[in-house]
Chain A
Amino acid sequence: MSAQERIGTKRLVVGAHYGTIDFIAQRVTAIIMAVYTLVLFFGFLFTPDMNFEGWRHLFTFTCIGLPVGQLLATLAFFSVAWHAWIGVRDIWMDYIHSAGLRLFLQVLTILWLVGAVVYFAKILWSL
């Protein structure tokens, strides 16, 4: 970077957000997934005679007529996709130095994850 691109003597203008949103999103989505994991785990533990019906109920239970089980699973899965996007994008940014190849892999990553979200939604909401 040449001296003309700096503001004042120190600050270098290189972008807008410096990754703050990604940093926070990675942690918030992690907490959501960890909490949902524990919800499923204790739901599993405290279901007497765990079988197909009990397992399915963890994802399909309703509360005052609302599909709470499906909603929780969907929200948790959005966290999975967002979290995975940031993580995998970081892997490409660290190891792939060719900008063209990196863009290609990032596009593939997005397609992969959007596909996973749609696949999951289809399984879950056809129950």
Chain B
Amino acid sequence: MSDSASKPRPQFRNISVPQILSYRLPLAGKTSILHRISGALLFLCLPLVILPLFALSVTSPESYASIQAWASNPLLKLVLLAIIWGYLHHFCAGIRYLVLDLHIGMDKISAQKSAGVVLGVSLALTVVFGLKLFGAW
């Protein structure tokens, strides 16, 4: 906290939404903002979707079986897919942060690579779980 008041830092608070959208973030930046977005998504869905679904899955054999019918609605399938991606991305990106906290892979090149791996692995796993969800097997 030393020197925090020594000189006024420039502040940029009037950035508009089109400017934000035209930013070309590096891979690590994309992983970072998606970590935040997926966390917010999981927070919102927790009592609205995830817990009701959990209740159905453990209450009785009938409610367990009713999930199948419940999840056949295309809109709900899409919501579930978003939650699955959110969980997987947050999980993978979180593990990357824990590794970075141990000062492993801190240099620019490896950080960029691991960010790419996180984006790729979470998307690939989402495809796997998505195929399962949409009944590929």
Measured CB to CB, the residues of A under 8 A from B are 1, 6, 10-12, 14, 18, 27, 30-31, 34, 37, 51-52, 55-56, 59-60, 80, 84, 87-88, 91, 97, 112, 115-116, 119-120, 123-124, 127
- Interface size class, chain B: 20 to 34
Residues of A within 8 A of B79 (CB): none
Q: Is the beta-carbon distance between A52 and B51 smaller than 8 angstroms? A: no
Bound Cα distance from A34 to B98, whole angstroms: 11
Bound Cα distance from A127 to B57, whole angstroms: 11
Q: Is the beta-carbon distance between B47 and A34 smaller than 8 angstroms? A: no
The interface bits of chain B over 38-55 (1 if a CB of A lies within 8 angstroms of the residue's CB, else 0) are: 011011001100010011
Q: Does B107 make an interface contact (CB < 8 A)?
A: no
Closest to A14 in B: B1
Closest approach, in angstroms, between the C-beta of B19 and any C-beta of chain A? 15
Point out the residue from B1, B40, B46, B101 that lies within 8 Å of A27, measured CB to CB: B101
Residues of B within 8 A of A34 (CB): 91, 94-95
